[in-house]
Copies of this chain bind each other. A is one copy, B any other.
Amino acid sequence: MELSVKKFDLEAGKRYTVIINEKDMLEERIHSGDRVTVSGPQDTITAFVNSTKKVIKKGEIGLFQEVSDKTGLKDTEKASVEYSPPPASVHAIRKKMKGEKLDREQIFQIVFDVVEQNLSEAEIAAFLVSQQTVGMGIDEVEYLTRAMADYGEKAEYEKTTFTKHSVGGVPGDSKVSLINVPIVAAGGIFIPKTSSRAITSPSGTSDTMEVLAEVDFSIEEINNIAKKCNAALVWGGSLNMAPADDLLIRVERPLKLDPLSQMLASIMSKQLANDVDFMLLDIPVGSGAKVETESEARKIASTFRELADRLGIFLRSVITYGGQPVGHAIGPSLEAIEALDTLSNKGPASVTEKSVALSGVMFEMGGLAASGQGSAMASKLLTSGKALEKFLQIVELQGGNPKVKRSDIPLGDKTFDILAKNNGYITNVSNDMICKIAHLAGAPKDKGAGIYLHRKVGYYAKQGEPLFTIYSESEKKLDDALNHALKNQPISIEGMIIEEL
């Protein structure tokens, strides 16, 4: 059909959209969500249709900026509009819904259409839900990972490249990279590490690092930083590496969908795009962590290894204790301080031990230490101050202050101490509740917000002693966090009444 153009001075996003009057749609048997081709003097594009009763009259078509720019159609010009069937990738998604296996070409086509925004959110959801309910084989996961890495930017490093990745879910874990990365870099490992910002957890490694330095760099800038100091601690979010991931996560998040196949592809495609050769996967296990049992962790580790082998990445996994927060500090600034303390050999034993252990495994993986000798090497680099020196070098190269002291880092000035109600040993610190309270207090958005745990599992607490302190930058958020903390019991003491019936 021929429709008269009405331009809107508004971008609708990369997913082309046009608006047609519902009477034209009824006549043409086109429905909201269908695709049409729109032809103009410059180009023909495929767009999704929305219907309207008003605004666009019968005989008109509403074009958003991207569509008028691309087609060259101007106000009141005639656009030729025809129904267009769904692309081949939709057929592939239907196949997956029926439980069939997809081949390499089909999966590459799906990922291409995700990146080019040729698929509707409903179509992407169908792909993700069937990954969850039907599942995918290792062949399919490999294609998915490769496709996600291929359709996006890629780094290329001259040196053999290492990384460490935690599957996550444990509060306080974000700081470990700030200690582990400088230890291994000081020991000769090349580790231009990209990491994420937190979504629901109190801090991501990028959030914590951002307290001390910039984290938003281009691929070239990262390469230059890493060339000078063997390491980088940057945000991966703006690099356009494996851009399909963000587009898929946008659909996964509201549904809390996280199919294993997609988790594998998400993590590994970013390593593939970042030219990683050696990778240590940290799987924290415990109640409230992403992985709750050791047998589940072993299964995940073996699937990751099979996939990494296929991708030419040398991967080893470690299971770490994830039943309570890592260290005492939770939230960007509190964790940055604890990382500095640990690098200065004044940190909590749990953080020191985890960082040293992970670094030791990496030295052994890379052949820099003999089997069983890695931890000793890592420990020496930490106690000698070389790791701290390396960290401050990274901070400086990333635009931060290399003379930074713990006292330079501001914390939220609204605080509240939660006290022990009775004497006893701590039997549980709930990851979930600590996350929730830190989140209500303002973390990770407010850098100075978070929680400091004075007592953890196995400590003895006396009645009236502070169990933890909540930090916040606003009275209102402190109140919200406090209310939640008082209503729930994030820290359990032996002998305490859990619930009155």
Whether A55 sits at the interface, judged by CB under 8 Å, is yes
B11 touches A54 (CB 8 A): yes
Whether A254 sits at the interface, judged by CB under 8 Å, is yes
- B34, B255, B256: the one contacting A254 at CB < 8 Å is B34
Task: Say how far A480's CB is from chain B's closest CB, in angstroms.
Answer: 12
Whether A28 sits at the interface, judged by CB under 8 Å, is yes
Whether A418 sits at the interface, judged by CB under 8 Å, is no
Which residue of B has the minimal Cβ distance to A255?
B126
Whether A8 sits at the interface, judged by CB under 8 Å, is yes
| A86 contact set on B, CB distance < 8 A | 254
- B8, B52, B125: the one contacting A121 at CB < 8 Å is B125
The DSSP consensus for interface residues of chain A is: mixed
| A90 contact set on B, CB distance < 8 A | 254-255
A27-B254 contact, Cβ under 8 Å, with A11-B55, A52-B11, A130-B133: no
A129 touches B120 (CB 8 A): no
Whether A93 sits at the interface, judged by CB under 8 Å, is yes
Whether A199 sits at the interface, judged by CB under 8 Å, is yes
A257-B97 contact, Cβ under 8 Å, with A50-B13, A54-B11: yes
Which residue of B has the minimal Cβ distance to A48?
B254
Q: Could you mark each residue 4-38 of chain A with 1 if its beta carbon is under 8 Å from any beta carbon of chain B, else 0?
A: 00001111110000000000001111011111000
Whether A422 sits at the interface, judged by CB under 8 Å, is no
Q: Given the complex of chains A and B, what is the CA–CA distance between A366 and B111 in angstroms?
A: 56
| A182 contact set on B, CB distance < 8 A | none
**Interface size of A as a range:** 35 or more
Q: Given the complex of chains A and B, what is the CA–CA distance between A380 and B321 in angstroms?
A: 84
Within 8 A of B (CB), among A34-52: 34-35, 50-52
Select the residue from A12, A34, A125, A445 with max chain B CB neighbours within 10 A.
A125
B444 touches A254 (CB 8 A): no
Select the residue from A10, A50, A93 with max chain B CB neighbours within 10 A.
A10
Whether A132 sits at the interface, judged by CB under 8 Å, is yes
| A62 contact set on B, CB distance < 8 A | 10
Task: Say how far A134's CB is from chain B's closest CB, in angstroms.
Answer: 6
- B34, B55, B133, B250: the one contacting A97 at CB < 8 Å is B133
Contacts A9-B55, A94-B256, A126-B128 known; list 11 others, CB within 8 Å: A8-B10, A10-B10, A10-B55, A13-B51, A28-B445, A33-B121, A55-B65, A93-B255, A97-B255, A121-B125, A126-B129
Residues of chain A whose beta carbon lies under 8 Å from any beta carbon of chain B: 8-13, 26-29, 31-35, 50-55, 62, 65, 86, 90, 93-94, 97, 99, 120-126, 128-130, 132-134, 197-199, 249-251, 253-257, 444-445
Q: What are 12 contact pairs spanning A and B, CB under 8 A?
A: A11-B54, A11-B55, A12-B50, A29-B444, A33-B250, A33-B254, A86-B254, A93-B255, A121-B122, A122-B255, A125-B125, A126-B255
Closest 3 CB pairs of A and B: A122-B125, A125-B125, A133-B133
